[in-house]
């Protein structure tokens, strides 16, 4: 199970733990096979519960992950703040400075980004589709974590790659309206659409905030059907979970 998942290759402090699941190692069947932790995609609830239990036990998580209702926005929560039983916060990012709380985001083509400070006192996870990326979810998460950008490390998890993600003029215009340097992330297609590099756009946003220690960003969820869920490829599908937390060493 765990050997099928991705452990970020970055120089984080030893108390910073992080994992990104793949679609392997779970109990779901059909288009959700097999490690789908998402409750909102039509999967059998019993299978999702079994997947979440396996995730928590397999990783020896200190607590249940703080699952989010993601809406392609910029809201950031503190994963250590208590919530009512059964409540799922509406947010697209979580951060934490307390050991024992687990930040998590779910994706199936959108970009999961993990953040931590160099000494391992704060961690964060954010969900960045093009809408959230354009609206500033990276900037909002960095602001919520408070350390200056140069003190942060970032890891870019599995997302749709630059050769597979096509968008229209309206998406390109939004990013160029923020920064003309975003033009380098778009390549024209013969049909008038654009191929866009989410990883490059995220790196630009991170670098604007002083984050230069950026790792990951080499997978493609769309083309690697064996390992990754992809909403754009399959429509009905599961989600990967990307988690980060602080161990109490």
What interhelical angle do 137-145 and 198-208 show, nearest 10? 40
Sheet of strand 194-196: strand arrangement: 166-167, 194-196, 186-188
| Bond prior to 34 in cis (omega within 30° of 0) | yes
Q: Note the pLDDT of residue 147.
A: 80
Q: Note the pLDDT of residue 146.
A: 85
- Residue length, the chain? 249
Q: Note the pLDDT of residue 4.
A: 94
Rounded Cα distance, 109 and 160, in Å:
5
Q: Note the pLDDT of residue 99.
A: 97
Would you give the end-to-end CA distance of the chain in angstroms?
A: 25
Rounded Cα distance, 135 and 94, in Å:
16
Handedness of CA 15, 5, 215, 188 (dihedral sign): negative
Q: Note the pLDDT of residue 150.
A: 82
Average pLDDT of every residue of the chain: 97
Q: Note the pLDDT of residue 249.
A: 78
| Bond prior to 89 in cis (omega within 30° of 0) | no
pTM above 0.95, yes or no: yes
Nearest to 165 by CA among 218, 232, 212, 213: 232
Q: Note the pLDDT of residue 148.
A: 75
Render each residue's pLDDT in the chain as its tens digit; 249 residues.
678 999 999 999 999 999 999 999 999 999 999 999 999 999 999 999 999 999 999 999 999 999 999 999 999 999 999 999 899 999 999 999 999 999 999 999 999 999 999 999 999 999 999 999 999 999 999 999 988 778 999 999 999 999 999 999 999 999 999 999 999 999 999 999 999 999 999 999 999 999 999 999 999 999 999 999 999 999 999 999 999 999 997
Q: Do residues 156 and 202 lie in contact, with contact meaning Cβ atoms separated by under 8 Å?
A: yes
Rounded Cα distance, 151 and 139, in Å:
14
Residues 6+ apart with CB under 8 A from 93: 74, 75, 76, 77, 105, 124, 125, 126, 127, 137, 140, 141, 144
Domains, the chain, in order of start with CATH, read 2-246 (3.60.140.10)
Nearest to 225 by CA among 158, 167, 166: 158
Backbone angles phi, psi at 49, to 5 degrees: -60, -40
């Amino acid at each position: 199970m765990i050997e099928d998942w991705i452990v970020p290759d970055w120089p984080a402090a030893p108390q910073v733990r992080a994992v990104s699941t793949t679609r392997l190692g779970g109990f779901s069947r059909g288009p959700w096979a097999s490690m789908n932790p998402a409750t909102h995609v039509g999967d059998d609830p019993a299978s999702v519960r079994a997947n979440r239990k396996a995730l928590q036990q397999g990783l020896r998580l200190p607590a249940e992950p703080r699952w989010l209702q993601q809406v392609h926005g910029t809201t950031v929560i503190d994963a250590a703040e208590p919530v009512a039983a059964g409540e799922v916060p509406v947010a697209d990012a979580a951060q934490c400075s307390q050991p024992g709380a687990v930040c998590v985001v779910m994706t199936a083509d959108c970009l999961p980004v993990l953040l931590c400070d160099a000494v391992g006192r704060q961690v964060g996870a954010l969900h960045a589709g093009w809408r959230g990326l354009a609206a500033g979810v990276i900037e909002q998460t960095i602001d919520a974590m408070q350390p200056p950008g140069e003190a942060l490390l970032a890891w870019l998890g599995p997302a749709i790659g630059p050769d597979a993600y096509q968008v229209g003029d309206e998406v390109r215009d939004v990013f160029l309206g923020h920064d003309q340097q975003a033009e380098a992330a778009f390549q024209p297609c013969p049909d008038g659409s654009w191929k866009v590099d989410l990883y490059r756009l995220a790196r630009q946003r991170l670098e604007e905030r002083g984050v230069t220690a950026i790792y990951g960003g080499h997978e493609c969820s769309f083309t690697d059907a064996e390992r990754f869920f992809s909403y754009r490829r399959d429509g009905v599908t599961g989600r990967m979970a990307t988690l980060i937390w602080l161990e109490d060493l």
